[in-house]
A = this chain, B = another copy of it.
Amino acid sequence: MPNSPSNDVDAPPVTEQPCRFPDDSVGLVTPQIHHFTNPLLLTCGQTLSEFTLIYETYGRLNADASNAILICHALSGHHHAAGFHDQNDKKPGWWDQYIGPGKPIDTNRFFVVSLNNLGGCHGSTGPTSINPDTGEPWGSGFPLLRVRDWVNSQARLADTLGIQCWAAVIGGSLGGMQAMRWSLEYPDRVRHCIVIASSMKLTAQNIAFNEAARSAITSDPEFFGGDYLKHHTYPKGGLSVARMIGHITYLSGDGMGNKFGRELKSGSFKQGDNEPVEFQIESYLRYQGANFSKSFDANTYILMTKALDYFDLSREYNDNPVTAFEQSTCNFLVISFSSDWRFSPERSREIVNALIAAKRPVSYAEIDSQYGHDAFLLPNERYQTVFSQYLNNIDIGTASKPKTGG
């Protein structure tokens, strides 16, 4: 197309411009909301009399609903996994790298469902929602959730969407814990379980980092025991530090060194200079922390990290993961990343070993990456290949109509 005439250069953008999204993007997406009015009994014994889940879908559900994939998000994730909410969005959803036409989770073949979990802060019922019994925000009163509560609420969402059995349930990190729990709680509703950079239970070190992060939040005087909304305050300092801790531990030491080294933000070291010197890594972390603290709820952060800590796949199976996985009937793909030290390859090998002992079909790939735990969100050729090939081999009864070739 020719350029616009010069007198149009400063004109506002035309509303009906042709879509500028890449060919392998799911494009514009609109979140949907479902309000559930049947009570949900939670693991803690409390009941949510009603609740809302916000979710997005990509691709098209086929006639026998055999091509549906559930995406389970991690600690700070949400429903917006792929595509754009607006023509002017600068960034797509958090897993856009892996969801779209021709991508590993190929929306030409699959119908993908991605939700914000219960207890979240992006539109699903959570601590910032109004407690119908009090007319006030839940705040500190929001019930403790466990991974199985998410799985149960996701099953409800599947019901409303007419999905009896997922072609695959997929998740990284805390999302992988949900995928594994699905395979045990609803064995007849999952055909494939894809567990990425996850663990059957956290290590003491992992719990310790989570506890330091929570302490940063709860010791912030603006936290008010979780009832900051009532006090019109917000523990942004504490949440920012919590995110900084998380951020450091989701990266690898080498990756961080390669990206930042000991570079200074500006200027140089001089003797005779009493100005505080600032390394790039410091301003980067502070920026990340401050940014996150503007968009995330502190109670949700605590709730999600607690769910992570509590998760123990085989607690109800005599602490025997083999007995646990014997409940499952699906196929498994397990993926880990070499430099991930919070969910190390050792943790994934434990999953694989338990699956083998339980005589379950399992594929395992340990991917070389310098990006630590974050690697599961980032481009990586081998990861993409393994992921694609596994999903391409999933049989879907009635093919959905592809919009474009894949």
Binds B, one of A10-18, A78-86, A234-242, A324-332: A234-242
Known: A207-B262, A220-B237, A237-B220. A45 touches B271 (CB 8 A): yes
Contacts of A341 in B (CB 8 A): 253
Kindly report which residue of chain B lies nearest to residue A309, judged by CB atoms: B279
Known: A44-B272, A211-B282, A272-B45. A219 touches B240 (CB 8 A): yes
Interface residue A202 (Cβ < 8 Å from any Cβ of B): yes
Quickly give the copy total for this chain.
2
- Contacting B at CB under 8 A, from A361-391, are none
Interface residue A201 (Cβ < 8 Å from any Cβ of B): yes
Contacts of A212 in B (CB 8 A): 241, 244-245, 248, 285
Contact string against B for A residues 202-221, beta-carbon threshold 8 Å, 1 for contact and 0 otherwise: 11110111011001100111
A254 → chain B, closest Cβ, in Å?
Answer: 9
Cross-chain contact B277 with A209 (CB below 8 angstroms):
no
Q: Is the interface of A mostly helix, strand, loop or mixed?
A: helix
In the bound complex, what is the Cα–Cα distance between A274 and B310 (angstroms)?
12
Known: A212-B248, A315-B269. A253 touches B203 (CB 8 A): yes
Known: A211-B285, A221-B221, A271-B45. A201 touches B262 (CB 8 A): yes
Contacts of A40 in B (CB 8 A): none
Cross-chain contact B274 with A143 (CB below 8 angstroms):
yes
Contact of A45 among B237, B274, B310 (CB under 8 A): B274
Contacts of A282 in B (CB 8 A): 207-208, 211
In the bound complex, what is the Cα–Cα distance between A248 and B206 (angstroms)?
9
Contacts of A315 in B (CB 8 A): 269
Cross-chain contact B207 with A281 (CB below 8 angstroms):
yes
Cross-chain contact B279 with A204 (CB below 8 angstroms):
yes
Interface residue A256 (Cβ < 8 Å from any Cβ of B): yes
Interface residue A345 (Cβ < 8 Å from any Cβ of B): no
Cross-chain contact A248 with B285 (CB below 8 angstroms):
no
Interface residue A276 (Cβ < 8 Å from any Cβ of B): yes
Contact string against B for A residues 160-203, beta-carbon threshold 8 Å, 1 for contact and 0 otherwise: 00000000000000000000000000000000000000000111
A287 → chain B, closest Cβ, in Å?
Answer: 12
Interface residue A289 (Cβ < 8 Å from any Cβ of B): yes
Known: A45-B273, A272-B43. A216 touches B241 (CB 8 A): yes
Cross-chain contact B285 with A208 (CB below 8 angstroms):
yes
In the bound complex, what is the Cα–Cα distance between A257 and B203 (angstroms)?
6
- Contacting B at CB under 8 A, from A219-235, are 219-222
Cross-chain contact B221 with A222 (CB below 8 angstroms):
yes
Contacts of A207 in B (CB 8 A): 262, 279, 281-282
Cross-chain contact B203 with A256 (CB below 8 angstroms):
yes
In the bound complex, what is the Cα–Cα distance between A220 and B220 (angstroms)?
7
Q: Could you list 22 A-B pairs, sorted by A, with CB under 8 Å? A: A43-B272, A44-B274, A45-B273, A144-B274, A144-B276, A203-B256, A203-B257, A204-B260, A204-B279, A205-B248, A207-B262, A207-B279, A208-B244, A208-B285, A211-B279, A212-B244, A215-B244, A220-B237, A221-B221, A221-B222, A262-B312, A269-B315
Known A-B contacts: A45-B271, A204-B253, A212-B241. Give 20 more (CB < 8 A). Answer: A201-B262, A202-B262, A203-B257, A205-B253, A207-B282, A208-B282, A211-B281, A211-B286, A212-B244, A215-B240, A215-B241, A215-B289, A219-B220, A219-B237, A221-B237, A241-B241, A262-B312, A269-B310, A271-B316, A279-B309
Q: Closest 6 CB pairs between A and B?
A: A219-B237, A45-B272, A44-B274, A205-B253, A212-B244, A204-B260
